[in-house]
Amino acid sequence: MELGIKGYKELTVTEDLLAKNVGSGLVAVYATPMMIAGIEGTAAESVAPYLEEGRTTVGTQMNVSHVAATPAGMKVHFETELVEIAPNGKILTFKVAAYDEAGLIGEGTHQRAIVAKERFEAKAQSKLG
């Protein structure tokens, strides 16, 4: 894996992605949690082809500003770029941004950790007893 890996994803804002419909507010605009999910998914997909078999990434940190509202029906897209790999090779830092058809709607940084998928899921399931 190398620095500079880029991700891109596009979607159209639908009613089910609005703040009033996902529990993050009362307004009929693209919800911040849905923007964050789009950013996370774009970053994860961008590095997935470079991971060893059985490995995946999980989000560990998000530092993003949501700077403009987007109505239903408008297209949004996400751009991510891998800008840092921790010395241990396990923590990936991305520069991230989201845009609608009028311009920038969100930007910041996002970190993901490389984990062994089965082991990670088993550890989470062990909390059930």
The catalytic residues are: 32, 40, 66
Burial of 126 (0-12, 13-18, 19+ CB in 10 A): exposed
Burial 34-59 (b: 16+ CB within 10 A, else e): bbbebbbbbbbebbeeeeeeeebbeb
Question: Dihedral, CA atoms, 15, 36, 118, 127, nearest 10 degrees?
Answer: -90
Q: Is 55 annotated as a binding residue?
A: no
Q: What are phi and psi of 71, to 5 degrees?
A: -80, 165
Local structure of residue 52 (DSSP, 8 states): P
Cα 88–48–41 angle (5° rounding)? 105
Q: Is 112 annotated as a binding residue?
A: yes
Going by the annotation, the residues of the binding site for CoA are 59
